[in-house]
């Protein structure tokens, strides 16, 4: 019984080790963005997020104004 549990424990750790070896191999295949691309994409995401926030904030203000003036 002890040997069976020990064997399954070794099997589990070998599977984990194999997984991390495969992860390492796959990460070597990745084409990582350059620093300039990373900065450009980050600024793009921040800009789009700010634009959406302003748009939604404007709609919220408009609907709040309309509701307070005409309904409430």
pLDDT tens digits, one per residue of 19-31 = 999 999 999 999 9
Confidence tier at 72 by pLDDT (50, 70, 90): low
The sign of the CA dihedral 12, 15, 17, 23 is negative
pTM: 0.61
Report pLDDT for 36: 98
CA dist., res. 44 & res. 39, Å (int):
9
- Chain Cα centroid distance, residue 41: 14
How confident is the prediction for the chain on average, in pLDDT?
A: 92
Mean pLDDT score, 44-72: 95
- Give the Å distances, CA to CA, from 52 to 2, 49, 58, 60, 62: 61, 5, 10, 12, 15
Mean pLDDT score, 46-54: 98
């Amino acid at each position: 019984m002890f040997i069976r549990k020990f064997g399954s424990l070794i099997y589990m750790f070998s599977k984990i080790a194999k997984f991390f070896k495969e992860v390492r191999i796959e990460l070597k295949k990745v084409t990582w963005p350059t620093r300039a691309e990373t900065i450009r994409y980050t600024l793009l995401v921040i800009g789009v997020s700010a634009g959406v926030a302003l748009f939604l904030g404007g709609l919220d203000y408009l609907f709040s104004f309309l509701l307070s003036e005409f309904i409430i």
